[in-house]
Chains A and B, each alone.
Chain A
Amino acid sequence: MSALKAKHQRLVLIVIALLVLVAAGLLAAWSLRNQANYFYLPSQMAENPPETGQAVRLGGMVEQGSLETMPDGVTIAFVVTDQDEARVPVRYRGIVPDLFVEGSGVVAEGALAADGIFEATNLLAKHDENYVPRELQEMDQHQAAKMAEETTVGIE
């Protein structure tokens, strides 16, 4: 390389740098296609389920009356639904976020297990009064309507 003229050396440097950066870009594009976490609504998951074990996010409402705690005290099971009546059972082992309650919105990160239950590794609940995850806004209104029609839950 020391035999190269300055101009050529510069060209070689630029070409190598560009090659590496293009490689980085291609690698990023390729792995993004595989690793990006797609967002599913329950109805989409019912129609066109992701592959078992592929990391996705599931967003919806925690169905009233579906939340139960397993005997070990730390595993919970609940059902996520949306306005299209689709229901996806979810299992989660861990400490739930503070605002996670039945009838509120939730985004579960995880993957479908072989038994058809969604195995959540992380739950994101509504953060405060005035914030709804953008992904959930569409559903919130329908869901609220449906819930209100169907439930006549007395409020403690």
Chain B
Amino acid sequence: MIAELGLAALWLAAALAALQLAGGALAQRGETPLQPLVRPAAILQGLLAGFAFVMLLWVFAVTDLSVKLVAANSHSLKPMIFKIAGAWGNHEGSMLLWVTVMALAGGLIALIERRLPERTMQATLAAQGFVALGFYAFLLFSSNPFERLPVPAPEGLGLNPLLQDIGLAFHPPTLYIGYVGLSVAFSFAVGALLTRQVTPEFARVMRPWVLGAWVFLTIGITAGSYWAYYELGWGGWWFWDPVENASLMPWLAATALLHSASVLAARDALRAWTIMLGVVAFSMSMVGTFLVRSGVLTSVHAFAVDPERGSFILALLALYIGGALLVFALRAGSVSEGQRFAALSREGALVFNNVMLSAILGIVLLGTLYPLLTEAFDVRVSVGPPYFNPASAIFAIPMLLVMAVGPLLRWRGDKFERISVPVAITVAIVVTVALIIGVATAPGLLPLLGLAISIGLAVASFWPLKGRRLTRVPLATWGMVIAHFGIAIALFGMASEGAFTKERLIALAPGGSTEIAGWQVTLEGVDPVAGPNWTALEGHLLAARDGGEPVRLDPQARNFWAPPQETTESALLTRWDGQLYAVLGDRASDGRWQLRLWWKPFVTLIWYGGLLVALGGVLAIIGRVLSDLKRRRIRVLAAERRSEQAMGAVS
């Protein structure tokens, strides 16, 4: 019953999406019989999709084994939190989450957004309905999450044990909200293009949405990186895996879009470019989804793949992205480019940032797609860090340097003399740090540059606050300062991890000990332990630093059943200046146990930096929304005053 309710809600929502598309499209031709229905349809569609998703959570929570998806992905013995998370830990459920977020976002803009011309809004909602419609079709015809089994299964198949992890339970939803939040930017861009209303007002309306999606993407990528770091037990935090790249590419595009939207909002320049990025950002979300779900690329986090699904997503890609790019090509000529600016100006710096981000995006995209291309010629290759790291650094380094001084520049045009002092100080910091570290430790070139630039950037990110009363600085500026500082912090963590990590691989008998980076690590013993749905061998380590108090570490090698799979649970010991990371391996024939230990200085700064970036984004959203509300209040008050005067004149 519950499953059927969910399915019915999906069908209704799809019908409403079609209504939204028809009404919005007719409004473009000046026929407005359906126009009053478009906004309510969008709102109701959001509520229905949300309802369907709650129904899916319900059948997972009660482990209804007559539903195929539950039988294939859940198990009655699983802890409740993983039963719920199992709802989106699979293809069908995650696609339902995707359309739910999309429908809710569409409903929200229909509910609150009143600033744009009504025709543009209608076109935007029509575009949003059109995109949602394709995904409803995908769900209903090819990946129905509510499908029943002819005979209820006696027991579920469990969930991939690698995915039984609390961090991972909340990782996909976060990324999805980010991915799909960009669909709003896409719809706005298409709407503005169709009605030729590419104005600063449009950028202001779109910006909070882009910021919101971007914040979620930032958090999602940060959390995903941390998950891979402690769950895979390989000691790395980024593997350039197709799935990781699929989340990075929309982030790069959204970051560029954020900055170009700022130029459009403040200075009415970069119109066509901003529209283009709006289309590209969501394209990257869809391309990423396609690559992960179609199985054309092999990845370590593979979902069950299926060429039929791939074809469906590819068809949706062709329809939406191809269509949007076609509209862009036909209409971009009629969008004039807007205000001019000098090369040395805030706009100039932002354009530089945009071009560099686009270049990195291109590098990552090409590297991710290259195996796909060569396989067409029957050559099998894989592309890894040796390509991605240097190729993206070539563009990231100049971008980071400009990022340090860009916010100091004035709009329209500036003189170099005005900012020469902060620039000189920043350059001095970078050079000094590079020299000190280079002479003292001689790390690789990229980590060295990373360390030097991150320290320079950390200092420089606070320049925009110089000489201002801190209480008077707008929230959005604080957001920028904190986000840029977060980038510096994360970069420092990455570079430090790359330059100073110590690794020790050793076989120890119980009682034996080893030394790594000032830590004395002793293996006390290895015991079997059992969890709710796994058994494990747990190593007991004692780690003491420079003769200090010993601390316990318990890495495990876990065996899950249903389905059988083995995972590594690394043990982490965090100190202010780094992390000790331990993995238990196999037992050698002579009774010794393999241990892999790493000391990673300041590695946690990678994720703290990521969170700071997200915090900056949140502050920027709050700042923008508050100032918008203030502006609206002033307008309303002025209107009231005018009407009062008119009333007074009458009486």
User: Could you tell me which residues of chain B, from 313 to 368, have a CB within 8 Å of some CB in chain A?
Assistant: 337, 340, 342-343, 351, 354-356, 358-360, 362-363, 366-367
Name the residue of chain B whose CB is nearest to the CB of A4: B340
Determine whether the beta carbon of A35 is less than 8 Å from that of B505. Answer: no
CB of A133 closer than 8 Å to a CB of B? yes
Q: Do B374 and A36 touch (CB < 8 A)?
A: yes
- Most central of B362, B564, B568 by chain A CB within 10 Å: B362
Which residue of chain A has the shortest Cβ distance to B356 in the bound complex?
A: A20
Cβ of B108 under 8 Å from chain A: no
Is A66 close to B, CB under 8 A?
no
CA separation between A9 and B566, bound complex, in Å?
60
Q: Is B464 an interface residue (CB 8 A)?
A: no
Q: Which of B272-322 contact A (CB under 8 A)?
A: 298, 302
Chain A residues with Cβ below 8 Å from B355 are 16-17, 20-21
Residues of B within 8 A of A74 (CB): 505-507, 585, 588, 594
- CB contacts under 8 Å to A, within B515-572, are 557, 563-568
A45: interface (CB < 8 Å): no
A24 contacts B by Cβ under 8 Å: yes
Q: List A residues 57-105 near B (Cβ within 8 Å).
A: 57, 69, 72-74, 93-96, 98-99
Q: Which residue of A lies closest to B588 (CB)?
A: A73
Contacts of A9 in B (CB 8 A): 337, 340
Partner of B358, one of A6, A17, A94, A99: A17
A114 is an interface residue with CB less than 8 A from chain B: no
9-residue interface stretch from B84-92, B379-387, B474-482: B379-387
Does any Cβ of A come within 8 Å of B583's Cβ?
yes
Which residues of B have CB within 8 Å of A4? 340
B382: contacting residue among A13, A37, A99, CB under 8 A? A37
Residues of B within 8 A of A36 (CB): 370-371, 374, 381-383, 387
Q: Does the CB pair A35–B340 fall under 8 Å?
A: no
From the candidates B351, B370, B564, name the one contacting A13 in the complex (CB within 8 A): B351
CA distance A37 to B383 in the complex (A): 6
A134 touches B505 (CB 8 A): no
In the assembled complex, A129 has its CB within 8 A of some CB on chain B: yes
Find A94's partner among B351, B360, B505, B563 (CB 8 Å cutoff): B505
B interface secondary structure, majority: mixed
- Report the nearest A residue to B234, measured CB to CB: A122
Q: Which candidate, B214-222, B389-397, B445-453, is the interface stretch facing chain A?
A: B389-397
B564–A128 touching, CB < 8 Å: yes
- A135 contacts which chain B residues (CB < 8 A)? 298, 380
By the criterion of a CB under 8 Å from any partner CB, how many residues of chain B are at the interface? 54
User: A38 vs B77: C-alpha distance in the bound complex, in angstroms?
Assistant: 44
Closest to A5 in B: B340
User: What is the chain B residue whose CB lies nearest that of A122?
Assistant: B234
Encoded as 1 (CB less than 8 Å from any B CB) or 0, chain A from 95 to 130 comes to: 110110000000001000000000000100000110
Contact of A129 among B379, B380, B564 (CB under 8 A): B564
Contacts of A55 in B (CB 8 A): 384, 386
Cβ contact of B367, chosen from A13, A28, A128, cutoff 8 A? A28
Whether the pair B340, A72 counts as a contact (CB closer than 8 A) is no
Residues on A with beta carbons closer than 8 Å to the beta carbon of B363? 24, 27-28
Which residues B563-620 have CB closer than 8 A to chain A? 563-568, 583, 585-586, 588-590, 592, 594, 596
User: What residues on A are CB-neighbors of B386 within 8 Å?
Assistant: 35, 55
Cα separation A74 to B160 with both chains bound (whole Å) = 29
**Does chain B have a CB within 8 A of A2?**
yes
Is A153 located at the chain interface by the 8 A CB criterion? Answer: no
Closest to B386 in A: A35
Please indicate the chain A residues that have their CB under 8 angstroms from the CB of B413 in the complex. Answer: 2
Q: CA–CA, A104 to B585, complex, Å?
A: 19
A24 touching B507, Cβ below 8 Å: no
| A1 and B342 form a contact (CB under 8 A) | yes
Q: Does A10 contact B (CB under 8 A)?
A: yes
Q: Are A25 and B366 touching (Cβ within 8 A)?
A: yes
Determine the chain B residues whose CB is within 8 A of the CB of A27 once the complex forms.
363, 391, 394
CA–CA, A127 to B555, complex, Å?
21
Given A31-B387, A95-B585, A37:B340 Cβ within 8 A: no
Q: Which residues of A contact B233 (CB under 8 A)?
A: 95
Interface string of B222-247 (1 = CB under 8 A from A): 00000000000110000000000000
Known: A24-B395, A129-B564. A10 touches B337 (CB 8 A): yes
8 A-B pairs (CB sep. < 8 Å): A7-B337, A24-B360, A35-B387, A72-B507, A74-B506, A94-B585, A129-B563, A129-B564
Q: Which 9 pairs show the lowest CB-CB distances between chains A and B? A: A73-B507, A95-B585, A98-B566, A35-B387, A39-B380, A24-B359, A36-B381, A28-B366, A73-B588
**Interface residue ranges, B against A (CB under 8 Å):** 233-234, 298, 302, 337, 340, 342-343, 351, 354-356, 358-360, 362-363, 366-367, 370-371, 374, 379-384, 386-387, 390-391, 394-395, 413, 505-507, 557, 563-568, 583, 585-586, 588-590, 592, 594, 596
Given contact pairs A98-B557, A98-B568, a sample of 13 additional A-B residue pairs in the complex whose CB atoms are under 8 Å apart: A16-B355, A31-B390, A32-B387, A36-B382, A37-B381, A37-B383, A39-B380, A74-B585, A95-B596, A122-B234, A128-B563, A131-B302, A134-B298
